[in-house]
Structure 1
Amino acid sequence: MNRAIQPRSRKTRALGLLPSRLVITRVRATRKTLFLTFDDGPHPEFTPRVLDLLRTHDATATFFLIGERIDQYPELVRRIVADGHALGNHSWSHPRMDELPLAQQLAEIERTDAALSRYDGSGTHPFRPPCGVLPPNLLLHFARIGRTVAFWSYDSHDYQQLPAPTLFAQMQADPPCSGDTLLMHDDTEATVQLLAALLPRWRDEGFEVRAMPRGRG
């Protein structure tokens, strides 16, 4: 196993020390639950297959969508909502937020909220910064307005372009625990194969798989 690939990074552990009203990483679960999230969609090939797997295994998830892809694939966004999943905000164009002034960061978020609201009627959505880059000025702004950043506590590393069996072995070596929020991406073949192996395993281990709580704002 590649030692550089760790599901729980120092950064996510540090963010987990912040109040959950500001940043959500882990979730207090009253039942044995994993909170599943997907970034970077919707994808015309892979998102439908992810949705099929989730439906088969009675699982729900939060889909953090890139704004400029939302109206490219409206039928997929409608299906995400119709299947009982939650929509999340992953910015409009997936920039590194620390390379933008605050006004431009907020414009990315607000434009995506507006696009998402056409599908679920909600004015705001859980926000996850692209690549996990969370500038201090954006975090402070969210603290002032009472809005929560939706992060994660467990990284599947499915964006590493590794084969699904390798990813599966890595996750089994250090598996998620109840209350973990899992980071995955619905835009690769490896993720689909990985999810197909994980969902029945989690069911057999007694986990429910659900969308993450919304937080504030």
Structure 2
Amino acid sequence: MFLTFDDGPDPEHTPPILDLLKAHGATATFFLIGDRIDRHPEVVQRIVDEGHELGNHSWGHPFMSDLPIERQMEEIARADASLSTYDGRATHPFRPPYGVLPRNLLTRFARTGRTIAFWSYDSQDYERLPAPVLIRQVQADPPRSGDVVLMHDDNAGTIELLAGLLPEWRAQGYSVRAMPAGRA
């Protein structure tokens, strides 16, 4: 399965998530918000140094459908520029905030061959329910091999959720890793 995190980097929550990933031999793709990248460069550098992938989650996490196409592209380009200082890539897989992808942006990406990275499994950690409740929900309807799992690295509940799930997934024989370039 492919593990992804949205809405970071967060100086309080991303480091413990990185610790858990390292302890379990897992990697992930982190879809980062541009203005947070500039505020927490040490966290972004650690993400890259530890072998994880970077993704673009826009500069300021707006509803893209509220913006004209020029502003949408500026949000994405500005975040790409900041991300590129860490991994040297000119562009990164883009995950639209809130999963909202306006038709004009989809059309622009289709014309340019730009990658959009959605998910196939939602952990629902953004609901900020107690971790035991989330763990039971995931166990009742678990991700499958090949799923792209959506999580968020901006809250303590995700840390507890991940701490409970990573050993379980490993015991079940899953390989937990970042999205490969071809899928990103």
What's the TM-score bracket when you normalise by the shorter of the two chains? over 0.9
More helix by share: 2
RMSD of the alignment, in Å? 1.1
Deviation at 1:147, TM superposition (A): 1.0
Other-structure match for 2:66: 99
- 1:148 and 1:120 map into 2 onto residues whose CA distance is 17
Alignment match of 2:122 (pick from 155, 162, 180): 155
AA aligned opposite 1:177:
R
Q: Is 2:102 aligned against 1:135? A: yes
- Pairing 1:4-43 to 2, within 5 Å after superposition: 34-43=1-10
AA aligned opposite 2:167:
P
Q: Is 2:11 aligned against 1:44? A: yes
- Which 4+ residue blocks in structure 1 deviate beyond 3 angstroms? none
Q: Is 2:144 aligned against 1:177? A: yes
Alignment match of 1:84 (pick from 36, 51, 54): 51
Aligned residues: 184
For residues 111-132 of structure 1, the C-alpha deviation after alignment (integer angstroms, 9 at most, x for no partner) is: 0000000000000001000000
Deviation at 1:71, TM superposition (A): 1.4
| Alignment check: 8 A CA contact 1:146 1:216 kept | no
Q: TM-score, normalised by structure 1?
A: 0.83
Deviation at 1:213, TM superposition (A): 2.2
Alignment match of 2:33 (pick from 50, 66, 73): 66
- 1:108 and 1:79 map into 2 onto residues whose CA distance is 24
AA aligned opposite 1:172:
Q
Question: Percent identity of the aligned residues?
Answer: 67
Other-structure match for 2:166: 199
Provide closer, same or farther for how the CA distance between residues 104 and 114 of structure 1 changes in structure 2, counting only shifts above 3 A: same
For residues 68-127 of structure 1, the C-alpha deviation after alignment (integer angstroms, 9 at most, x for no partner) is: 010111110000000000000000000000000000000000000000000000000010
Deviation at 1:216, TM superposition (A): 8.2
For residues 146-169 of structure 1, the C-alpha deviation after alignment (integer angstroms, 9 at most, x for no partner) is: 112000000000000200000000
Other-structure match for 2:86: 119
Other-structure match for 2:157: 190
- SS at structure 2 position matched to 1:87: strand
Deviation at 1:214, TM superposition (A): 2.7
- 2:181 and 2:113 map into 1 onto residues whose CA distance is 13
- SS at structure 2 position matched to 1:48: helix
- 2:128 and 2:173 map into 1 onto residues whose CA distance is 29
